[in-house]
A and B are shown apart, each in its own frame.
Chain A
Amino acid sequence: MPNDKNSQKIVDIIKNAARKHSLFVLAYGTGCGAIEIPPTMTSRYDAERFGIRGMATPRQADVLLVTGYLATKTLKRVIRAYEQMQDPKYVIGFGSCTINGGMYWDSYNTIKLLDKYIPVDVYINGCMPRPEAVITGFIELQKLIAEGKADGATKYKENLDWYRANQKKVIKNWNMPDYNW
């Protein structure tokens, strides 16, 4: 996918416009941030106005919302879920702990920098972010998609070895299948 927005082909523009208005979020509450997802999705903030809705299975989902810290045990499952997701796929880092460890910066069981393990397209700051901030995050993601800049999945494929090395540093028993996209 070209990085420069001026060089997008008309096909891409149409494709991206379609994509950005139908973001299916994988229903995976990985951390405490999951508690602000129900208010965002239900009547009060109603994220479906933006074509954002939950999806139960990774293969049908577009967005992986990492809601906060990831324990190493969860990281393994998140990687597996992420690799099962089909292109196009995006990752939103939700909350301070995905950026630099947050308040769990000295915990022995949570990863600190999410982008070392899976590519992240947008970060939403906060502990925890309000529904408004979550919606802003999604709008930012839509903007990036429209501009063709949300290319985390491509980066992941290109730098798979680097990501794998980081992942294996914390996941000691790597007994997962490899997925081919």
Chain B
Amino acid sequence: MTENSLDKEQQIVNHLVGTFQNLTGKVKRNRRIEVSIEKKQITSVLNYVKDHLGFIHFSHMSCVDWLEDGYFELVYILWSPEQKIQLLVKALVDRENASVENADMIWRQLNTYQREIREMFGVNFIGMKGDKEFILEDWDNMPPMRRDFNTVDYIQEVYFERPGREDAQNVRETISKRTGEEIPEVATKYSRD
């Protein structure tokens, strides 16, 4: 067992770094590799690792919204059943008019993931087939998984809340009212929500 040595993992990373330009990679721990690529490399890297390095099992695809930095991070998680190694392929996409090449010809189930990400984040996958609607129905707002979509504002607008709970008190306010304490502005942001 190569439980403790990371040679096998390091070899794959080195191989990938040598094969693709602008690819950075690291070994996270045994059986875990992570590489970062550019968005235009997605299909070529996925095809390569599938055909040549044995990462034939597609585990998962995810999208993370880094609102403050202005990009989406697409994460493809692959598994090599032979070598028992998990590979994370990460690519950044600009949030504005986000669009990526379609990759569902490499793994057909990617189509489902991409449809979901298109619906939930508004990332466009160029050339992808499939219904526009996947999970939501008649949704006319911003894609809901974007971080700037405020779900509480939305529910207050669309749904009802049961009345009868208006007499709720805030402990901090109750006590400061009783003592006459005036909480300055610099402090209020540290008060309990």
Contact = CB atoms under 8 A, between A and B. Distances in A.
- Interface residues of A toward B: which range? 20 to 34
Given A72-B137, A73-B137, A109-B136, A169 B158 contact: yes
B161 interface: yes
Given A99-B162, A112-B161, A73 B155 contact: no
Contacts of B159: 101, 111-113, 170
Given A73-B137, A112-B159, 17 more contacts: A72-B137, A99-B162, A100-B162, A101-B159, A106-B151, A106-B155, A107-B155, A108-B149, A108-B158, A109-B136, A112-B155, A112-B160, A112-B161, A113-B160, A113-B162, A166-B160, A171-B138
A116 interface: yes
B interface, over-half SS: loop
16 contacts: A73-B136, A101-B159, A101-B161, A105-B155, A106-B152, A106-B155, A107-B155, A108-B144, A108-B149, A108-B158, A109-B136, A112-B155, A112-B161, A113-B160, A170-B159, A172-B140
A72 B151 CA distance: 15
Contact of B158 (A99, A101, A170): A170
Interface string A156-169: 00000000001001
Contacts of B154: 108
Interface of B: 136-138, 140-141, 144, 149, 151-152, 154-155, 158-162
B127 to A, nearest CB: 28
A43 interface: no
